[in-house]
Amino acid sequence: MVLPNPSVLEVFENQHPGRNYTIEIVCPEFTSVCPKTGQPDFGTLTITYTPDTTCVELKSLKLYLQAFRNEGIFYEEVTNRILDELVGALAPRKMKLVAAFTSRGGISTTVTAIHEAVG
Amino acid sequence: MVLPNPSVLEVFENQHPGRNYTIEIVCPEFTSVCPKTGQPDFGTLTITYTPDTTCVELKSLKLYLQAFRNEGIFYEEVTNRILDELVGALAPRKMKLVAAFTSRGGISTTVTAIHEAVG
Amino acid sequence: MVLPNPSVLEVFENQHPGRNYTIEIVCPEFTSVCPKTGQPDFGTLTITYTPDTTCVELKSLKLYLQAFRNEGIFYEEVTNRILDELVGALAPRKMKLVAAFTSRGGISTTVTAIHEAVG
Amino acid sequence: MVLPNPSVLEVFENQHPGRNYTIEIVCPEFTSVCPKTGQPDFGTLTITYTPDTTCVELKSLKLYLQAFRNEGIFYEEVTNRILDELVGALAPRKMKLVAAFTSRGGISTTVTAIHEAVG
Amino acid sequence: MVLPNPSVLEVFENQHPGRNYTIEIVCPEFTSVCPKTGQPDFGTLTITYTPDTTCVELKSLKLYLQAFRNEGIFYEEVTNRILDELVGALAPRKMKLVAAFTSRGGISTTVTAIHEAVG
Amino acid sequence: MVLPNPSVLEVFENQHPGRNYTIEIVCPEFTSVCPKTGQPDFGTLTITYTPDTTCVELKSLKLYLQAFRNEGIFYEEVTNRILDELVGALAPRKMKLVAAFTSRGGISTTVTAIHEAVG
Amino acid sequence: MVLPNPSVLEVFENQHPGRNYTIEIVCPEFTSVCPKTGQPDFGTLTITYTPDTTCVELKSLKLYLQAFRNEGIFYEEVTNRILDELVGALAPRKMKLVAAFTSRGGISTTVTAIHEAVG
Amino acid sequence: MVLPNPSVLEVFENQHPGRNYTIEIVCPEFTSVCPKTGQPDFGTLTITYTPDTTCVELKSLKLYLQAFRNEGIFYEEVTNRILDELVGALAPRKMKLVAAFTSRGGISTTVTAIHEAVG
Amino acid sequence: MVLPNPSVLEVFENQHPGRNYTIEIVCPEFTSVCPKTGQPDFGTLTITYTPDTTCVELKSLKLYLQAFRNEGIFYEEVTNRILDELVGALAPRKMKLVAAFTSRGGISTTVTAIHEAVG
Amino acid sequence: MVLPNPSVLEVFENQHPGRNYTIEIVCPEFTSVCPKTGQPDFGTLTITYTPDTTCVELKSLKLYLQAFRNEGIFYEEVTNRILDELVGALAPRKMKLVAAFTSRGGISTTVTAIHEAVG
C-alpha cells in the first residue's frame, strides 16, 4: 500500500512570475482514516495559491492526495501537513487550504490554514 | 446518568503552533432540558477556534456535549459554560460559540459568545 | 427517568366522526438512543391519520414521544412500536408513520409504516 | 369580547350559478387559543369552494375568523367547525379546508377536511 | 371616466381555424375597486383560450381591462364577467380565467372559471 | 431589407427515417414588430419535432427567423405562420411550436400550436 | 383580560457579566390591535441585546408579549414601548428591537429602535 | 374623483422624540397615470424615515397614496412630490423615498430621493 | 486489509412481519477502486427494502460497505453484488439498490437494480 | 488524428443477465465540429440502457466519444450514429440517448432517440 509522500508531487515552471495570479483547486473526494476509530473520513479540500516560480502538476497532486486513503490521521494534522508539504514543494507566494469534513456522530468539522511567504 | 463534565474532554498536541489556523465544528444535534419546564431544548452549536498548544479530540467533544442531554440549564448559561469549559481545556488563542435554539412557544433564541486570549 | 408508555396518551372525542378527514403531525425533534452503541439518535416523525371516534391530544403526544429520549431502541422497532401504540390508543381508520433519522457513520435511514383498519 | 358566530357571515348571490367555478381563500393570520394551556395558537387556513347559489362576502369572513382570536378550541374542532359553519351559511357544491398550525413544543399540525354536497 | 365595456374589444380573424392552438395571456397589473369599502383591489389575470374564428387584439384587451380601474365589483363577479364578455366577443372553443388578488385584511383570494363551447 | 421567406430554409436528408426521434430547438432571441404600434416585440420560440425524411439545417433556420426582425405581424399569426412554413419545408411526422413573448403594456402572451401528419 | 405589564418580566442573574455576549430572540407570532380600526395586527419582533447583570427569562417574555394580544396600539408606539420596558427590566448594555408588521391595505411597515446604555 | 392632497395626511405625536429610530413603509400597490399616454403606471414605493415630533398615521397615508390613482404625473415628479408633501406634513429628521416602477415598452425605472432636516 | 464479505452482515428479527413496511438507507460515502486503472471510485448508494423476517443491523452494514474501500470492481458488478449479498443475508420481500457514482474522465454513471421475492 | 470508430468500444460480460437493471451514463463534455461552419459544437450526452449479455467499459466509451472532437457532423446524425454504434457493440435490451447541445447563434438544440430490441 502506498504511503502519502510529497516526493510524488511534480512541479513545472511558472511562465509568468511577473504576475500575481491565483489557482484554486477543489478536491471533493478526499478520504483518510480516523486514527482513533479506524473508520474512514471523507472531506472536500480547497487549495488556493499564488505561484512563485513553480506550479503543481495536477495528476501528481491527485496521486499525492489519494495516498492518504488508508492513512490514520486527525483532521487538523492532515490539513496542516498537506499545506506544509505543498508549500515545501511549490514555495508559493501565498497558499490557503480549507478542509471540510463530513459529519461524524452528528458533528462536522472544517479546518482552514494559510501560509504566506516571508519577505 | 452521565453529568456534563469537562474532564471528559481530551486534547491532543497542536503540531503546528507556529501557524494561526481555524477549526470550525458544527453540532446540529445538541439537546438539553429547560430548567423551568423540564421540557427538552434543541439547538445547533457552532464552535470556531484558533488553537494554541492543543486541539480538542472530536469524539471526546461529542461525549462531552451529549452529557447535557438530561441537564436542566438556560440557553445563556449553557452557551457561556461550554465556551468557558472549552477555553479551560484548550486555552485557545480565540474561540467563538454560536448556539441557535429551535422555537419554543413561538420564540427562537440564538446566543453568541466570544473568548480571546489575553496578551 | 420516565419510560415511554402509551398510557400517557390522552384522547378526546372526535366531534365529526361522520367525516373522513386527515390530521398530519410533524415532530422534527424526536430523539432516542441506539441500543448497540448507547449513542443518541435524532429524527423527524411525520404521523398522518384519519380519526375514527377519537383524536390524540397533542400535549400528551409530545410527552409520550419525549419519553423515548433515553430509550435504547432500533429505528425499525421504534417506528412500528409508535405506530402500534398510537393505533392501540386511537383506533384510527388509517394511520401512516414516516420516521427519518439523521446520519450515523455516513448512513441515514428512513422507515415508513402504514396501518389500515379492517372492515 | 366577540364570540365566533356564523351569523356574522354575509353572503351575496352567485350571479353565475350555471358555471362550476372555484374560489380559493388563504388566511395566513388565523389565531385562536389552546383550550388546555390557554396559550395562543397560530395557523394558515386555506378555504377552496365551488359556490352554488351564494358566495361569502370577504370582509364578513374576515370578521368571522377574527372572532376566534380569544376562543379556546382544539385544532381538529376548529377546522371542522369552520367548515360546517361555512357550509351552513353557503351551501356550496364542494368545499375543502386546510388548516396548518405553527409549531408548539416542537410539533406542528395540519388538519384537512372536505365537504361535498349530496345529490 | 371610462366604464368597462366589451365593445372596445377588437378581434381579428383567426387565420388558422383548422388548428386547435392555445393562447395564454398574463395581466399582472389588473386593478378594480371593492364595492363595499371603495378601496382599490389588485390582481393578476391569466387568460388561456383556444380561438375559433377570431382572436382578441391585445391592445384593445389592455384598454378593456384598464377600464375596470374605477369599477366597484366583487372578485367573483369580475372574474365571471370578464370571462363572459371575452366569450361573447370571441366565441372561443375553450377559455379559462384565473384571477389571483393580493391580500386584503390578511386574506388573499383566487377565483378560477372555465368556459367550453357546446357541440 | 430581407423579408421572411421559407425558401431560405435548407433541409438535409434524415439518415435515420426508420426511427421516431425528437429534435427540440430553442430560440430565445426572436424579435418582430407589432403591426398596430410599430413597436418591437421579443420572445422565445421552442420548436419540437419528429423528422420524417428531412431535418432543418440550423443556420438556415436562424436566417429564416432573423428575417422577421422588421416584419409587422401579430403573435398568433407569427406562431402559426412559422409552424406552417416549417411544416411545408420539412413535412415532419409531428411538430410543436411554443412562442412566449415578453410583457407589453403590462401584458405577456404565449401561443402554442401543434401539427401532426395525417395517416 | 390580561393587560401588557412589564412587571411580569422575570430576569435571572447573568452569570457571565465579565463577557460582552449577544442574545437574539425572534418572535414571529406577535399580535396586537390597531387603535384606529380595531383590526388585529401581526408582526415579527427581533430583539437583540447584550446583557449587563440580568437576562430575561424567556417564558415570562412570551407571556409579556402575549398580553398585547388585545391591546390597541400603534406600530411605532408598541416598538418603542416594548424596547423601553425591556430596557427598564433588564438594563442591558445594548438592545435593538426590529418590529416587522404584515401588510394592511397593501402597505407593510417595519419599525427599528436601538437603546445603548450611557457611560 | 379624489385628487391627491397632502391635507388628508394625519399625523400623531411621536411619543419617543428622544430616540432616533427608523420607520420603513413599503407600498407595492402604487398606481398613477402616464401624462403622455394616459396609460396606468404601477410601482412599489418604499418610504424610510426618522420621525421628529410626529409620525404619519398609516390609513391616512394609504388614502393619500390611493388618490394618485387617476393622476397624470411623471415618475420623477411623483417621487419628488410625495417626498415633499410627506416632509411638509411630518417634518422628519430624515426621509428617503424609493419608487420602483414596472416595465413599460421593455424599460423599467426606479427613482430615489432623500430629504435631510437642516440643523 | 479487510475484504468485502457478506458474513459480516448482522441481522435482527423483524418484530413486525405482519406489516409490509419500507426501510430506506442512504450511504453517500461509498468508495471502491476501478479494476482497470486502480483509481478510487466514489458514489452514493440508496438501498430501499421491505423486510420479511429479518432487518439488517446498520453498523454491520456500514462495515460491510466499508470493506469495498480497496476492492477493484466495476460499477455494474458492485451494484449487483451488493444487492445479491443483501438479498442473501436478509431475504427481503423487495429490495432496490441505486448506485450513483461521481464523474470519471468527464463521465458519471448511475446503476439501478431491483430484486423481488418469488411467490 | 483519430477518427470516431466503434471498434474501440470494449465490452465486458454482464454477470447478471437474469436481472433487468439500468445503467445511466452522463457525458457533459462531448464536442464535435459543425460540418457547415467548421465551428466547434458542445453538448451533454445522456445514455440510459438495460444490458443484455454485455456492458460497455467506461474508459473505452470515453475514448470513443472523444474521437468525435474533430469530426464534422450534424447534431441529428451524431445522436443517431452514436446510438446505432452503441447498439451494434452492446446489443442492449433497451437504450435511450439524449444529446443536448449548447446555444449557437442564439439557438440551442436537443435530440432524443430510443432503441428497443426486437422480440
Segment F47-106, tens digit of pLDDT: 999 999 999 999 999 999 999 999 999 999 999 999 999 999 999 999 999 999 999 888
Within 66-85 of F, beta carbons closer than 8 Å to H belong to none
- What's chain A's length in residues? 119
The distance of J109 to chain F (nearest Cα, Å) reads 4
Residues of A whose CB is below 8 A from C41: none
**Chain H adjacent subunits, 3+ CB pairs under 8 A:** E, F, G
Q: Say whether residue H56 is in contact with chain G using an 8 A CB cutoff.
A: no
Compute the C-alpha angle D22/D24/D30, nearest 5°.
Answer: 155
The distance of C38 to chain D (nearest Cα, Å) reads 24
Q: Is residue A47 within 8 Å of residue A27, measured between CB atoms? A: yes
**DSSP letter, residue H104:** E
> Under DSSP, is residue D82 helix (H, G, I), strand (E, B) or coil?
helix
Residue D41, classified by CB atoms within 10 Å of its CB into exposed (0-12), middle (13-18) or buried (19+), is buried
Q: Please indicate whether, in this complex, the C-beta atoms of A31 and I40 are within 8 angstroms of each other.
A: yes
- The type of residue at D58 is L
Helix H or strand E encompassing E113: strand E108-116
Q: Is residue I98 within 8 Å of residue I115, measured between CB atoms? A: no
Q: Is residue F51 within 8 Å of residue F23, measured between CB atoms? A: yes
Per-residue pLDDT tens, chain D, 119 aa: give them: 568 899 999 999 999 999 999 999 999 999 999 998 899 999 999 999 999 999 999 999 999 999 999 999 999 999 999 999 999 999 999 999 999 999 998 999 999 999 998 76
Distance in angstroms (rounded) separating the CA atoms of residues I117 and J10: 34
pTM exceeding the 0.90 threshold for the entire prediction: yes
How close are the terminal C-alpha atoms of chain G, in Å?
Answer: 40
- Residues 6 or more apart whose CB falls under 8 angstroms from that of G35 comprise G72, G73, G74
**How confident is the model at residue F43, as a pLDDT?**
96
ipTM associated with this complex: 0.93
Among A111, A52, A50, A117, CA closest to A82 = A111
> Under DSSP, is residue A35 helix (H, G, I), strand (E, B) or coil?
coil
**pLDDT tens-digit profile of D15-49?**
999 999 999 999 999 999 999 889 999 999 999 99
- Give the pLDDT means over successive 10-residue stretches in chain B (119 positions): 86 95 98 93 98 96 96 96 97 98 95 90
Chains A and J touch (3+ CB pairs under 8 A): no
Give catalytic status of residue D52 as yes or no.
Answer: no
Residues of C whose CB is below 8 A from A102: 106
Grid cell at residue C11: 384522547
Distance in angstroms (rounded) separating the CA atoms of residues D74 and D36: 9
Find the mean pLDDT for residues G58-68.
Answer: 96
Among A109, G59, G19, CA closest to B111 = G19
Give the sign of the dihedral formed by CA B2, CA B4, CA B5, CA B10.
positive
Q: Is residue I28 within 8 Å of residue I44, measured between CB atoms? A: yes
Give the largest Cα separation in chain C, rounded: 48
Ranges under pLDDT 50 in chain A = none
* Exposure on the CB side of residue F22, measured as CA atoms within 13 A: 13
Give the sign of the dihedral formed by CA D67, CA G82, CA B111, CA B80.
negative
Among D68, D96, D75, CA closest to D6 = D68
Distance in angstroms (rounded) separating the CA atoms of residues I58 and H96: 61
Where do runs of H (alpha helix) occur along chain H? 58-66, 75-90
Give the sign of the dihedral formed by CA J81, CA J84, CA J89, CA J90.
positive
Find the mean pLDDT for residues I86-112.
Answer: 96
Grid cell at residue G66: 402575549
Give catalytic status of residue D34 as yes or no.
Answer: yes
**Chain C adjacent subunits, 3+ CB pairs under 8 A:** A, B, D, I
**How confident is the model at residue B119, as a pLDDT?**
65
**Chain D adjacent subunits, 3+ CB pairs under 8 A:** B, C, E, G
Residues of A whose CB is below 8 A from B58: 75, 104-105, 107, 109
Distance in angstroms (rounded) separating the CA atoms of residues A31 and A67: 9
Is the pLDDT at F119 greater than 70? The verdict is no
**Higher confidence at residue G89 or residue H118?**
G89
Q: Is residue B51 within 8 Å of residue B90, measured between CB atoms? A: yes
Residue ranges with strand state E in F8-93: 11-13, 22-33, 40-50, 54-56
Q: Is residue A32 within 8 Å of residue A45, measured between CB atoms? A: no
**How confident is the model at residue A76, as a pLDDT?**
96
Q: Say whether residue J15 is in contact with chain I using an 8 A CB cutoff.
A: yes
Q: Please indicate whether, in this complex, the C-beta atoms of G111 and H59 are within 8 angstroms of each other.
A: no
Grid cell at residue C80: 412500528
Residues of E whose CB is below 8 A from D14: 76
Q: Is residue I45 within 8 Å of residue I27, measured between CB atoms? A: yes
Among C58, C48, C42, C59, CA closest to C20 = C48
Q: In Å, what is the CA distance from G5 to each residue of G31, G81, H14?
A: 15, 11, 21
**How confident is the model at residue I119, as a pLDDT?**
64
Is the pLDDT at E2 greater than 80? The verdict is no
Distance in angstroms (rounded) separating the CA atoms of residues B82 and B86: 6
Helix H or strand E encompassing A86: helix A75-90
If phi > 0 it is left, if psi is from -120 to 50 it is alpha, else beta; for residue I93 that is: alpha
Within 10 Å of residue E13's Cβ, how many Cβ atoms? 11
Distance in angstroms (rounded) separating the CA atoms of residues G7 and F116: 78
Q: Say whether residue D39 is in contact with chain C using an 8 A CB cutoff.
A: no
Distance in angstroms (rounded) separating the CA atoms of residues G87 and C53: 51
The distance of B29 to chain A (nearest Cα, Å) reads 6
Residues of E whose CB is below 8 A from G36: none
Chains I and E touch (3+ CB pairs under 8 A): no
**How confident is the model at residue G118, as a pLDDT?**
80
Distance in angstroms (rounded) separating the CA atoms of residues D75 and D101: 8
Residues of C whose CB is below 8 A from A104: 105-106
Is the pLDDT at G2 greater than 80? The verdict is no
- Residues 6 or more apart whose CB falls under 8 angstroms from that of E47 comprise E24, E25, E26, E27, E86, E95, E96, E97
Q: Say whether residue B17 is in contact with chain A using an 8 A CB cutoff.
A: no
**pLDDT tens-digit profile of J66-108?**
999 999 999 999 999 999 999 999 999 999 999 999 999 899 9
Is the pLDDT at I1 greater than 60? The verdict is no
Is the pLDDT at F107 greater than 90? The verdict is yes
Give the sign of the dihedral formed by CA F83, CA F88, CA F89, CA F95.
positive
* Exposure on the CB side of residue J71, measured as CA atoms within 13 A: 21
**How confident is the model at residue I3, as a pLDDT?**
80
**How confident is the model at residue A119, as a pLDDT?**
65
Q: Please indicate whether, in this complex, the C-beta atoms of I109 and J19 are within 8 angstroms of each other.
A: no
The size of the I-J interface in CB pairs under 8 A is 58
Distance in angstroms (rounded) separating the CA atoms of residues I112 and F95: 34
Q: Say whether residue I42 is in contact with chain A using an 8 A CB cutoff.
A: yes
Grid cell at residue J31: 464536442
Q: Is residue C79 within 8 Å of residue C97, measured between CB atoms? A: yes
- From the centroid of its chain, how far is CA B42? 14
Q: Say whether residue D39 is in contact with chain G using an 8 A CB cutoff.
A: yes
Task: Please report which confidence band the pLDDT of residue H119 belongs to, taking 50, 70 and 90 as the band edges.
Answer: low
Written in H, E and C, the secondary structure of chain C is CCCCCHHHCCEEECCCCCCCCEEEEEEEEEEEECCCCCCEEEEEEEEEEECCCEEECHHHHHHHHHHHHHCECCHHHHHHHHHHHHHHHHCCCEEEEEEEEEEECCEEEEEEEEEECCC
Q: Say whether residue B36 is in contact with chain G using an 8 A CB cutoff.
A: yes
Could you give the percent of chain I with pLDDT greater than 70?
97
- From the centroid of its chain, how far is CA D96? 9
Could you give the percent of chain I with pLDDT greater than 90?
91
Residue C3, classified by CB atoms within 10 Å of its CB into exposed (0-12), middle (13-18) or buried (19+), is exposed
Dihedral of the alpha carbons of J96, J102, J108, J114, in degrees to the nearest 10: -10
Among E1, E24, G18, CA closest to B113 = G18
**How confident is the model at residue J2, as a pLDDT?**
66
- The type of residue at F38 is G
Could you give the percent of chain H with pLDDT greater than 90?
90
Q: Which of I76, I110, I114 lies at the smallest CB-CB distance from J55?
A: I76
Q: Mutate which of G32, G39, G74, G76 to test chain H, going by most H C-beta atoms within 10 A? A: G76
What phi and psi, each to the nearest 5 degrees, are found at residue J97? -125, 125
**Chain F adjacent subunits, 3+ CB pairs under 8 A:** E, H, J
> Under DSSP, is residue D17 helix (H, G, I), strand (E, B) or coil?
coil
| Chain D: residue whose CA lies nearest to B34 | D105
Q: Mutate which of E30, E31, E45, E102 to test chain H, going by most H C-beta atoms within 10 A? A: E31
The distance of E30 to chain G (nearest Cα, Å) reads 14
**DSSP letter, residue D15:** S
Residues of H whose CB is below 8 A from G35: none
Q: Which residues pair with E110 in a beta bridge?
A: D24, E100
**How confident is the model at residue I50, as a pLDDT?**
98
Q: Please indicate whether, in this complex, the C-beta atoms of C109 and I28 are within 8 angstroms of each other.
A: no
**DSSP letter, residue J15:** S
Q: Is residue I95 within 8 Å of residue I48, measured between CB atoms? A: yes
Residues of F marked as catalytic:
34, 41
Q: Which of D34, D52, D55, D84 is labelled catalytic?
A: D34
